[in-house]
Structure 1
């Protein structure tokens, strides 16, 4: 019995190591998606500025796709950290809290979508032995206790017109606010410039008067 117990603890220790490696790799995986998201977002703004609404809507798909991946990565990161911190619960799956079961299911589901994180596949194999085939099957399918938000972020429809319109609208709002600020700045400069020039002219006149004031004959 002691031998089995040590073997179980060793397996969970391996899961912790794998999840830790996945977190390290995840930090690297974030970067290209952040860069692509930034480029796509900039493209949407430029296309709108040129009046190409249809092309901007099409480009918005890439913004939505990258946003979904980044948000999914954030969820996976939370799950990995939770399982590392609560690894002892994994020795007794039937006594795991709902949060831990959700994290296990989420990691199992994400393993099939995160090619950048191969460690999750190895962790899933060990967790499947712990939690059973039925639990693992539902997790892989994105059912059971898997968070629907995670499923949607990985497999959601990036071509949803409402989502694309929201992306474009956000850029339009930013563009309009920027345009208004530029107009306000120009208006303020237009209204205050004569006053500034008047004050500056008076200051210069005063200096000239002080420099060239004729000597007092009484001295």
Structure 2
């Protein structure tokens, strides 16, 4: 029995993600997506309203993948290790698919779209940091918890961004993220030894970076 072909919209979105990953943003054009999906360029406007709509969906898919990775971490008895595991997911996503990462977080033309779409991922991180408060980290109010979550995100983003322009090697990314997270945790009330154990445990997903 022949399998039914995916809908045109799905084929075009899959093509956009594939072309972006393999060839970069400049290759993602209406003409190229139409050719990959076997349709006319009018389909871009029919199904997405134009290339802005395509990018909206591409970035949404990137954010969905990030949220799914965070959700796979789950909740353990060590909340600091859980936050570190979020960091491993984030860094791995950036290094594994750098073109998608750049589109999501490094292109000012697209950053306004990502700012809205990434809220769900940030909410997950704020929740994970919140589970550390009063247990391992200082007792903080809600705005302060969000601020700490941003500090972790900025650390991860900085490390990935430096790696993508060749200023950090993979092993340096791992060391930078490890030391930075230990410093942030101890700065917010955790003991250095305990923070180091938890952070290293949570970042085991980056152990192969060499």
TM bin, normalised by shorter chain, reads under 0.3
Which protein has the larger Cα radius of gyration, Structure 1 or Structure 2?
Answer: 1
TM-score after normalising by structure 2: 0.28
TM-score after normalising by structure 1: 0.27
